[in-house]
Copies of this chain bind each other. A is one copy, B any other.
Amino acid sequence: MSQSTREIKKIVLAYSGGLDTSIIIPWLQERYNGAEIIGVCTNVGQDEDWDAMEQKALASGASKLHVLDVRQEFAEDFLWPMLRAGAIYEGKYLLGTSIARPLQAAKQVEIALEEGADAVAHGCTGKGNDQVRFELTYKALAPHLEIIAPWRTWNITSREQAIEYAQQHNIPIGNISKKNIYSRDWNIWHMSHEGGELENTWESPRDEMFILSKSPKEAPDQETELVLDFEKGFPTGINGEKMEPLKMLDYLNRIGGENGIGRADIVETRLVGMKSRGVYETPAGTILHKALRELEMITMDFETLGMKNQLALKYAEQVYAGKWFTHFRESMDAYMETSMQYATGSVRVVLYKGSVTVVGRKSPYSLYLEDLASFGESAYDHSDATGFINLYGLATGVQAMVHERKLPNKGPAREMRAMAGFHEK
């Protein structure tokens, strides 16, 4: 599909401004006989000197740099649906990096098509997940484009070699010589950390590693209470006030971070098969997830929610793999949209020293009816339960008779234990 041999004259590169992608520019020019290199940098909320970036790209040899602020699209069209779906990878990772890549790669493809480029390139290494996410998006949106992944191809295998290469090619590297312990990724949803002491799964992360969130120990001694409002599974406001997605994320990241909310330390399974350790800070996402899950529980029946939870596992796997622009993700979102049509209401949460606690929830579509659940009188007829249990338990009784699973008349608990399936250990 991709290893064609046609001539490459124009390449659109996912440019980050860092050492890793800067040195790709001269390398591509050498490797592809002076091909034109166009950079694309998408702003998903990372902290960058946006003004200096164009200068840096041009100085590295790019013919131009497109800088695109995609934060609003990122929130509305990627983060909100993912949140609605309840997607969390391996029980803990809120997918902050994973969900950004398809958008970034799609923007890059858009530019490549506009510019009439022959190829797209990225600066991901051959061990990580991001290479998969970028390339699957390229394949999904423009399968005819050549894909170039220099970090899998060239001989540069260490940071030192990369710096040397940059110096040889007069690439401005700024204060880059300073050693970064951690590999990080940052956007409006989260910040990730890998490397350093994290590579020993028995060691705890150092306090100074964290950036978006205070340590719970340094968080305020007072609780912070919020009311979060949702419509059809999308967040719409705080404390009764409508709020735009970007503003809401900013607000919740700040207030959540101050309260030590949203840290996750996980040994996860990468797409390329190995386990790796990552630590994530996702303050706003953690608060929104917890609140929305609670709203689901009062507005959805057991079966619709049960299947939604199963789909959420698959949805998370798809996002983790960068399989966003796929028939499968779209099909799951159709389920999500319909199943969440009543997920409208408000949730009270309390933030306190690292914890988000849901303490109240209400909805015009709440399926919780106080008179049904309470001990008082209601339309509920207690005698219905007799018939219910008799039929609900009919198969159990039949099996008992058929399997003669009767308890012995005499005898110690050991026999019951054996029956229960927990034989002598």
**A209 near B: Cβ within 8 Å?**
no
Question: Which residues from B are CB-within-8-Å of A294?
Answer: 267
Within 8 A of B (CB), among A400-420: 400-403, 405-410, 413, 416-417, 419-420
B362–A267 CB distance below 8 A: no
16 A-B pairs besides A110-B416, A127-B382, A201-B298 with CB distance below 8 A are: A1-B398, A3-B381, A70-B413, A125-B375, A126-B382, A136-B393, A143-B401, A149-B385, A216-B352, A266-B297, A275-B372, A277-B368, A301-B327, A307-B331, A327-B403, A334-B421
Whole-angstrom CA separation of A139 from B379 in the bound complex: 14
Looking at the complex, which of A21-29, A166-174, A335-343 is the stretch in contact with chain B? A335-343
**A374 near B: Cβ within 8 Å?**
yes
Question: Which residues from B are CB-within-8-Å of A132?
Answer: 385, 388-389, 392-393
A394–B272 CB distance below 8 A: yes
A407–B110 CB distance below 8 A: yes
B393–A390 CB distance below 8 A: no
Q: Mark A342-367, 1 if CB is under 8 A from B, else 0.
A: 10000010101111011111100111
A77–B420 CB distance below 8 A: yes
Count residues of A near B (Cβ-Cβ below 8 Å).
159
A301–B328 CB distance below 8 A: yes
Nearest Cβ on chain B to A149's Cβ, whole angstroms = 7
**A195 near B: Cβ within 8 Å?**
yes
Checking B113, B201, B276, B330 against A407 with a beta-carbon cut-off of 8 angstroms, the contacting residue is: B113
A388–B392 CB distance below 8 A: yes
A400–B139 CB distance below 8 A: yes
B311–A275 CB distance below 8 A: no
Nearest Cβ on chain B to A306's Cβ, whole angstroms = 7
Q: A381-B390, A395-B302 are in contact. Are A368 and B275 (CB under 8 A)?
A: yes
Q: A272-B394, A372-B398 are in contact. Are A309 and B304 (CB under 8 A)?
A: no
Whole-angstrom CA separation of A374 from B196 in the bound complex: 9
Within 8 A of B (CB), among A288-330: 293-294, 297-298, 300-311, 313-314, 318, 323-330
B204–A327 CB distance below 8 A: no
Question: Which residues from B are CB-within-8-Å of A52?
Answer: none
Question: Which residues from B are CB-within-8-Å of A307?
Answer: 311, 314, 328, 331-332
B76–A405 CB distance below 8 A: no
Question: Which residues from B are CB-within-8-Å of A380?
Answer: 1, 126-127, 274
Within 8 A of B (CB), among A155-185: 157, 183
Nearest Cβ on chain B to A356's Cβ, whole angstroms = 10
Question: Which residues from B are CB-within-8-Å of A293?
Answer: 91
A325–B419 CB distance below 8 A: yes
13 contacts between A and B (CB under 8 A): A2-B397, A113-B406, A126-B385, A132-B388, A132-B393, A195-B375, A200-B370, A267-B368, A325-B419, A330-B338, A331-B339, A334-B335, A388-B388
Checking B77, B303, B387, B402 against A422 with a beta-carbon cut-off of 8 angstroms, the contacting residue is: B77
